[in-house]
C-alpha cells in the first residue's frame, strides 16, 4: 500500500484489507482489522466508510492493531430506516467493541467520526486510552455553515463537495469524482446523511458544555485550510479539553488522511507512542 499523497493525474485506491463483518443489535457492521499491537479504532466521517483510511493503513498497522469500521447507516454496513443521532452511534460503537472483545483502545475520529468518538470518550472514559479529533464536528464554538450541501445529489455536486474538502484542487480529478459518486450511489446512504444533517443543526447535540469532561490524552489534528470545520473549531476543542494538543497540517483541507496521509499518520503515531 502506498502512504503517499493522492496522485495529481489519476486516482486509484491502494489494495485494501479483507472486509469483515459482525452483528450489533441484529444489524451487520462491516470493518477492517489489521496489524498487531496497541489497538487503534478509526471512525469515519459523514458519507464515508472505512476505505477513507486506505492511504493510512500501512503506516498505522506497522505498529498498531487497526480496526476501521463502516458506521451503521454508512458504507457496507446495514442502513436501517431510523433517526440517526450521536447517542445512537455511540451505543452501536460500544456494541461493536463488545462484539470484537475490545475492552480499551485509542480512538481516531474524522469529522462526524470525531464527534462520535468524543461523545464516546465522555460516556466511556474507562475504555479510551487516547483520542485523536481530526477536523472534527461536534461543537458550535467556531463552527460555520458548510459552504456546500453535504447531501450529494449529482456528479457535479460531488465535484463541488470534493473541491470544498481539498486545499489542493488538482487532486479532485475526474477519476476521483467518478469513484466517489459511484460509491455514493452504491452505498445508498442518502437517507442517513439527511438524518445526520439534522443532528448537525441541533444545538442540543453539541458538546461545547460537556467536552471538558474528556480525560484521555487528546490530539486535535487539523488541516489548516479546512473550509468545512474551520481552524477556529480546532482552537476551541484545544481550549475546552484540558491538556489537549493542537497540531496543524499546512496546505491541507478537511481530509488530511487523503490529502496529506504521510504527515497525518506521522502525527497520529507521535501521540500513540
Rounded to whole angstroms, the Cα distance separating 115 from 133 reads 8
Quick one: pLDDT band at residue 200, thresholds 50, 70, 90?
confident
Q: Model confidence at 12, in pLDDT bands (50, 70, 90)?
A: confident
Cα-based torsion angle of the residue sequence 139, 134, 255, 179 in order, rounded to the nearest 10 degrees? -90
Return the residue matching grid coordinates 474551520: 230
**44 contacts 68 by C-beta, under 8 angstroms:** yes
CATH code of the region 20-146+189-272: 3.40.50.1820
- The pLDDT tens digits of the residues spanning 89-131 come to 999 999 999 999 999 999 999 999 999 999 999 999 999 999 9
Q: Bigger pLDDT: 15 or 92?
A: 92
What is the C-alpha to C-alpha distance for residues 111 and 173, in angstroms, rounded to an integer?
23
* Closest by Cα among 191, 229, 217 to 273: 217
What is the pTM for the complete model shown?
0.94
pLDDT band of 10, cuts 50, 70, 90: low
Give me the torsion for CA of 28, 31, 33, 39, rounded to 10°. -100
Question: pLDDT category, 201, cuts 50, 70, 90?
Answer: confident
User: Which of the residue ranges 9-23, 144-158, 194-208 would you say has the lowest mean pLDDT?
Assistant: 9-23
Q: Residue 3: its pLDDT value, please?
A: 45
Q: Which residue has the higher pLDDT, 70 or 4?
A: 70
Whether 9 has a pLDDT exceeding 60, the answer reads no
Residue 65 has pLDDT above 80, yes or no: yes
Average pLDDT along the chain: 94
pLDDT over 90 at 8, yes or no = no
Task: Confirm if 30 and 21 have CB atoms less than 8 A apart.
Answer: yes
Q: Which residues pair with 133 in a beta bridge?
A: 109, 220
Q: Crossing angle of helices 112-123/86-99, nearest 10°? A: 70
Amino acid at each position: 500500500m502506498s502512504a503517499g499523497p493522492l496522485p495529481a493525474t489519476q486516482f486509484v485506491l491502494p489494495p485494501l484489507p479483507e472486509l469483515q463483518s459482525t452483528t450489533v443489535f441484529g444489524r451487520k457492521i462491516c470493518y477492517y482489522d489489521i496489524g498487531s499491537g496497541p489497538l487503534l479504532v478509526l471512525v469515519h466521517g459523514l458519507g464515508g466508510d472505512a476505505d477513507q483510511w486506505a492511504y493510512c493503513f500501512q503506516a498505522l498497522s506497522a505498529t498498531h492493531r487497526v480496526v476501521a469500521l463502516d458506521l451503521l447507516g454508512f458504507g457496507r454496513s446495514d442502513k436501517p430506516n431510523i433517526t440517526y443521532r450521536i447517542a445512537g452511534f455511540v451505543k452501536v460503537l460500544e456494541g461493536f467493541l463488545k462484539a470484537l472483545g475490545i475492552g480499551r483502545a485509542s480512538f481516531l475520529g474524522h469529522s462526524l467520526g470525531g464527534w462520535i468518538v468524543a461523545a464516546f470518550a465522555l460516556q466511556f472514559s474507562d475504555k479510551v486510552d487516547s483520542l485523536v479529533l481530526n477536523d472534527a464536528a461536534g461543537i458550535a464554538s467556531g463552527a460555520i455553515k458548510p459552504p456546500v450541501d453535504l447531501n450529494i445529489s449529482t456528479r457535479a455536486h460531488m465535484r463541488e463537495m470534493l473541491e470544498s474538502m481539498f486545499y489542493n484542487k488538482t487532486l479532485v480529478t475526474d477519476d476521483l469524482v467518478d469513484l466517489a459518486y459511484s460509491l455514493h450511489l452504491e452505498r445508498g446512504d442518502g437517507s442517513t446523511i439527511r438524518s445526520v444533517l439534522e443532528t448537525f443543526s441541533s444545538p442540543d447535540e453539541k458538546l461545547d458544555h460537556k467536552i471538558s469532561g474528556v480525560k484521555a490524552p487528546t490530539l486535535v489534528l487539523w488541516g489548516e485550510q479546512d473550509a468545512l470545520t474551520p481552524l477556529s473549531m480546532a482552537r476551541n476543542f484545544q481550549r475546552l479539553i484540558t491538556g489537549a494538543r493542537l497540531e496543524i497540517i499546512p496546505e491541507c483541507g478537511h481530509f488530511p488522511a487523503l490529502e496529506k496521509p504521510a504527515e497525518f499518520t506521522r502525527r497520529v503515531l507521535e501521540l500513540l507512542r
